[in-house]
Chain A
Amino acid sequence: MKRALLPLVLVLAAASTAHADGPTIPRFVEDTKSSGLHSVYKGEWQYMVGGGVATFDCNGDGFPDLYIAGGENPAKLYVNTSKKGGPLKFAEAKSGAELKQVTGAYPVDIDGDGIMDLVVLRVGQSKIFRGLGHCKFEDVTAKWNVDGGDAWATAFSATWEKGNRWPTLAFGTYIDRAFENEPWGHCTDNWLLRPNEGQAGFGPRIALKPSYCALSMLFTDWNRSGTPSLRVANDREYYEGGQEQLWKVNPGEAPRLYTADEGWKFQRFWGMGIAAADLTGNGYNAYFTTSMADQRLQFLSDGPQKPSFKDAPFTMGTSAHRPFTGGDQRPSTGWHAQFEDVNNDGLWDLFIAKGNVDKMPDFAQKDPSNLLLQQADGSFVEGAEKAGLINFGEARGAAVADFNLDGKMDVLIVNRHENVRLWRGVSPHLGHWLGLRLNGDGANRDGIGAWIELKEGEKLVRREITVGGGHVSGINSWWHFGLGDQAQAQLRVIWPDGTAGDWQDVKADGFYFLQRGKPPAPFMPR
């Protein structure tokens, strides 16, 4: 508790091992043209939001594959054919999930069979596809009694409530499409689906009233209570009487909103994408929400008893409120956000996909996506231009992942109206790293809700394993950690049931499956 209240800069300074002369700038080269990716997120008003990508391994080779939303175009699945450390290559494959009207997707192994399933968000009925292996899927929306609604789906998250073998799913939706000519005040309901007890599939929808045009949602254990809550980013452009939300979702109880009396602050902005990371090492996540003009980074401010969050100081360098290059100085528009360590220095960095909503003159039309690199003092500096990662397209969803399993993060961006873009990390001299996956038995195979902790020198780096957040873009793949100069590290898993595993030594620069009660199992990519 007291540590949470320490002055931010002091905590950050103590935790940092980065170079005093600024962060290492990673290097990227664009592989789009040679990648084999040809997917355009197409559509006008009903597709002004959305444009996501699911990143996961659908054929068991360890390499992250892609399922990319196409809007009015069919969604496409691409099998990763890259070689370790080589150029990024993908091949389109027929998956059975080539739907139109897809806004985004999240990979999650719902039935616990060890094969990733796909939650596909759509303008219309959202669907669930069960993974069959070899990147094939079957539509189990009806079979699993999934109420996919008839809405403009724009957000998703999942959690395993205590005692359940199947997850609880949260769907977030946007504007009632019947009111295109006067959409304000016409947000449709978000909803939860809880699993049917003792059998496959889900019960009836539980409306999350009130709903305020969600653009991102994330089940996250903000106070380390062991029970995640549902954070929802809402677009103030369209709601009336709305605000940002945090739902308390206790097992066996109806979900309810945290209130002002409990400490939840009345906040209203253009909430568009959520990212979370323990930036200070105090054990609690900071939450970054993309928006228009200023992006919002917030820290827990009054300890774990109160869901009170306070804006990070402007000097943190995370506001990213206007373009850093390109000559357009109008305010920015942020979408997908993701914390990753892109330079392997042991500090979380932050990628923000940027892009004008649609010819909005008040906001930058030439709006480059950000790559904010964390510095030793905890503040962030822009690194995208020096890194060679410049995107002026109308970005929406994205994925920062190690697509060629070389320990260097790569970046995929979904832009509106044009092909996706793909950059490969090529830095010759980055720090050491680890790629980790949880491998549980039975239900919740991917350990959603667990925390992975790594000792890096004096500090502890934590990562909450979640499904959700970002902007309609989900990743369920190797969880990447940068180690800086450390050639080995100690790690442990705090499993979703709260059980802490033993500290275990691992050598750096490799991939490991982490299983309860067993030593880390190395994985060697082909």
Chain B
Amino acid sequence: MKRVFALALLLPMLFVAPASASSLAQEQVLSSWYHLILRLVRHTATYSPPLASRNFAYLGVTSYEAVASGDDHLQSLAGQLHGLKPLPPRQAGKAYDESVVLNAAMAAAMVDFFGNTGPSGQNALRAETAKMSHDVAQGLAPDVVGRSEAYGKALAAQIFTWSKSDGGATIVNMGFPLKYKLTPGPAHWVPTNQQGIQQVPLLPEWQKNRTFALPAAATCDLPPPPEYSEDKSSEFYKQALEVHDVKNSATPEQKAIARFWSDDPMLSPTPPGHWVSIVMQIAEHDHLPAAKTADALARVGVAVADAFIGCWQTKFEYDLVRPVTYIKRVIDPKWETLLITPPFPEYASGHSVQSAAAAAVLSTLLGDHYAFDDATHVQDGIPARHFESFEAAAAEAGISRMYGGIHYRAAIERGLQQGRCIGAYAAALKTVK
């Protein structure tokens, strides 16, 4: 095994470049595919935030490995991510086109990870594959195109095979188990809406999935939330009352923040997709090279995927009641949230955890004070917001959940801590030799 790994590391040095390169740069290939990925994540019903995070990780790793396989300076993630074995080597002395390799890998991965999308998504996927395959091969020798495509597909195939054993590959009933026993007692989660499918929590065993860079699901686990109480002097009551009051008195700006980070499944690219969208906006705005963009996509993908596994560990360990349930029962029977309460336990805040994790890797990669504009939801009529740093964006994502009435302060603040802890593992991945 070690020999194969060592050989794989040496092989890039033996490659030769094609006589002429694709007219489509790798940056354009990444941009086109990620545009469609963010579309399909929104429009594929299985793509709840946890599943979206998982597949962002695999797609990010696929794009990164495709780029890294042709760049002598980049280090493969094989051996660094749990269960990822050395990827297939290229043929020594043969010419490859890097854009064709990347495109073929992404096209294959799209079929693998979006097999469940509907007829319009399949149409879009077919059209994009045909267009990109045509455009990327223009002016290249057929043997180079064929060899590059074969390599990209082989690379994607191995990553897809790797993905199948992580525990999250098969999603039934949109992630809602057909049978589930609720934990008895007022402190614990109960359904928060009248939808039949959501009378059980989403993906209650997601924490059992294999992590990517995080050593284990519980590595960054949190202490218990404030002890459940209905006593008005208790910390739990105070935090619930804070949610009640903050939501009720939310300013227009706070409401806008809540909507901006709402990131509802089927109506947005989901919370992890929001951070992938940020990466792509920065990549295009700041003209990041493909290697840097692919690195960021892989790290963010890994960070948010590990974040959902780690967060789910905490959620189902404590199984805490949502504010809407508690507030209606104890404080104000007519109270309503601003945002839709997600159908799973409260502690910790998933958006806080995954946002802090994504911010941690992006801060490491691009800097602690990297200012940017985020126009993820402009097409939905939600204006762009400006952030002075990734950390500031993550903090706003966290507090947005209180403005929306769906999380207590402890879940947000500790969720951000948990996210930073989890993100540090993705940030520590070695991508430059």
Contact residues of A with B, CB < 8 Å?
A: 44-45, 48, 180-185, 236-238, 240-241, 268, 292-294, 311-314, 319-322, 329-331, 357-363
Q: Which residues of the other chain, A, contact B124 by a CB distance below 8 angstroms?
A: 181-183
Q: Within the complex, what minimum Cβ distance (angstroms) separates A418 from chain B?
A: 18
Q: Is the CB of A314 within 8 A of B45?
A: no
Q: Which residues of the other chain, B, contact A293 by a CB distance below 8 angstroms?
A: 45, 174, 195-197
Of residues 111 through 132 on chain B, the ones whose CB sits less than 8 Å from some CB of chain A are: 115-116, 118-120, 123-124, 127-128
Q: Is the CB of B45 within 8 A of A292?
A: yes
Contact flag A237-B379 (CB < 8 Å), given A181-B127, A293-B197, A314-B195: no
Q: Is the CB of A241 within 8 A of B379?
A: yes
* Residue in chain A with minimal CB distance to B40: A184
Q: Which residue of B46, B172, B193 contacts A311 across the interface (Cβ within 8 Å)?
A: B193
Contact residues of B with A, CB < 8 Å?
A: 39, 42-46, 115-116, 118-120, 123-124, 127-128, 171-174, 178, 191, 193-199, 264, 266-267, 379-382
Q: Is the CB of A360 within 8 A of B45?
A: yes
Q: Is the CB of A357 within 8 A of B197?
A: no
Residue pairs across A and B with Cβ atoms less than 8 A apart, 21 shown, are A181-B128, A182-B39, A182-B124, A182-B127, A183-B123, A184-B42, A184-B43, A241-B382, A268-B267, A293-B45, A293-B195, A311-B195, A314-B195, A319-B194, A329-B173, A329-B178, A331-B174, A358-B118, A362-B46, A362-B171, A362-B174
Q: Within the complex, what minimum Cβ distance (angstroms) separates B128 from chain A?
A: 8
Q: Is the CB of B197 within 8 A of A321?
A: yes
Q: Is the CB of B379 within 8 A of A322?
A: no
Q: Is the CB of A241 within 8 A of B45?
A: no
Q: Is the CB of A360 within 8 A of B197?
A: no
* Residue in chain A with minimal CB distance to B336: A265
Q: Which residue of B123, B172, B196, B266 contacts A181 across the interface (Cβ within 8 Å)?
A: B123
Q: Within the complex, what minimum Cβ distance (angstroms) separates A175 from chain B?
A: 8
Q: Within the complex, what minimum Cβ distance (angstroms) separates B334 from chain A?
A: 11
Q: Which residue of A312, A321, A362 contacts B44 across the interface (Cβ within 8 Å)?
A: A362
Q: Is the CB of B196 within 8 A of A48?
A: no
Q: Is the CB of A184 within 8 A of B39?
A: yes
Q: Within the complex, what minimum Cβ distance (angstroms) separates B135 from chain A?
A: 15
Alpha-carbon separation in the docked complex, A313 to B199 (Å): 12
Q: Is the CB of A241 within 8 A of B194?
A: no
Which of A45, A294, A329, A360 has the most chain B CB within a 10 Å cutoff? A360
Alpha-carbon separation in the docked complex, A83 to B8 (Å): 80
Q: Which residue of A44, A238, A319, A359 contacts B196 across the interface (Cβ within 8 Å)?
A: A319
Q: Which residues of the other chain, A, contact B173 by a CB distance below 8 angstroms?
A: 322, 329-331
Q: Is the CB of A180 within 8 A of B123?
A: yes
Q: Within the complex, what minimum Cβ distance (angstroms) separates B370 from chain A?
A: 28
Q: Is the CB of A331 within 8 A of B197?
A: yes
* Residue in chain A with minimal CB distance to B42: A184
Alpha-carbon separation in the docked complex, A292 to B46 (Å): 12
Alpha-carbon separation in the docked complex, A362 to B172 (Å): 8
Q: Which residues of the other chain, A, contact B119 by a CB distance below 8 angstroms?
A: 44-45, 48, 357-360
Q: Which residues of the other chain, A, contact B178 by a CB distance below 8 angstroms?
A: 329
Contact flag A362-B379 (CB < 8 Å), given A184-B120, A331-B197: no
